[in-house]
Amino acid sequence: MLGTRQTEQGIKLIKEFFQQNLSTELRLRRVTAPLFVLKGLGINDDLNGVERPVTFPIRDMGEQCAEVVHSLAKWKRLTLAEQKVERGYGIYTDMNAIRADEELDNLHSLYVDQWDWEAVIGREDRNLTFLKDVVNRIYAAIRRTEYLVCETYEELKPFLPEQIHFIHAEELLQRYPNLSAKEREDAICREFGAVFVIGIGGKLSNGEKHDGRAADYDDWSTVGENGLEGLNGDILIWYPVLERSFELSSMGIRVDEESLLRQLAIEHQEERKNLFFHQQLLSGKLPLSIGGGIGQSRLCMVLLHKAHIGEIQASIWPEEMRKECAEVGIRLI
């Protein structure tokens, strides 16, 4: 087990090395991102649609309300347009967020830090083959980072498989029909070690969603030969330290005009098409794109073999949780 000093050094090593690899793999340049945006523009990420953003009034702007971001899924696409980024290139940034409604546990904190990234694509790139290629590139960067960490700290041994396995959420349901969505993730990750679950956000054949996803950024309702198929998903791994599946990234090809309207209709959110972001997209002012978020603290936690995300980041934890962790030798920052 790494001590406090080694852990802090390891966090620095991972963050510096991985973001450089991500930038090189996907041809991304770094940009500066906001911590908060104005309410009512449709720019903030709605996540599952029930999480409450942290808000505050701005005294010098007539008490207009600002929201701390949940993520930068839509802000990045606006930035691609503003900076006139060319096809095949993109941006990445350090995203810091506060999610006050998060259920706190080993993996979930009030504080969220991600590498948020977005790249411009062509219409012919809006397909599953292109999505899988990008996933493979990201996974390769993760494995290179694991190799560096294990070379630096000999007590740590690599565990990620060479290849990531792809499976659609509907296939996963058919494979494990008697398990819950979380149990299905555990089962498939235990079998393959690293998995990309495709098509998250739309209802499956059992009438339920594999997981929630906002209607206005990822394209999860693309119409294919078998109906609604989806062009998004999550990168999951099997994490032996906790003996469970572990999500590292949520990503996907973003909605175009057609899929935005279709998904808003599916979710009964048609009124959102009048918001600023949605009007920019529907009027053709935003580029087609692919993007996602990769958890910084989560990646550090996995590659440093930690049992609690509080060993990586400073946050607020229930006192009972701190006591339980201290009893088993886990120090929360």
Please check whether residue 118 is in contact with residue 80, taking contact to mean a CB–CB distance below 8 angstroms. yes
211 catalytic? Reply is no
Reduced to 3 states, what is the DSSP secondary structure of residue 144? helix
Q: Please state, in angstroms and as integers, the Cα–Cα distance from residue 241 to each residue in 18, 38, 104, 296, 301, following that order.
A: 21, 40, 18, 18, 10
Annotated catalytic residue within 19, 46, 77, 99: 99
Q: Please state, in angstroms and as integers, the Cα–Cα distance from residue 276 to each residue in 75, 187, 282, following that order.
A: 11, 42, 10
Reduced to 3 states, what is the DSSP secondary structure of residue 271? helix
Q: What is the rounded distance in angstroms from the CA atom of residue 135 to the CA atom of residue 196? A: 8
Please check whether residue 273 is in contact with residue 264, taking contact to mean a CB–CB distance below 8 angstroms. yes
Q: Please state, in angstroms and as integers, the Cα–Cα distance from residue 124 to each residue in 26, 76, 129, 130, following that order.
A: 18, 21, 11, 9
Q: What is the rounded distance in angstroms from the CA atom of residue 319 to the CA atom of residue 316? A: 9
Annotated catalytic residue within 250, 259, 289, 297: 250
234 catalytic? Reply is yes
> Across the beta sheet with 64-68, what order do the strands follow?
36-38, 64-68, 55-58
247 catalytic? Reply is yes
184 catalytic? Reply is no
Annotated catalytic residue within 19, 23, 45, 184: 45
Annotated catalytic residue within 234, 254, 280, 297: 234
Annotated catalytic residue within 114, 221, 259, 263: 114
45 catalytic? Reply is yes
Catalytic positions = 45, 99, 114, 234, 247, 250
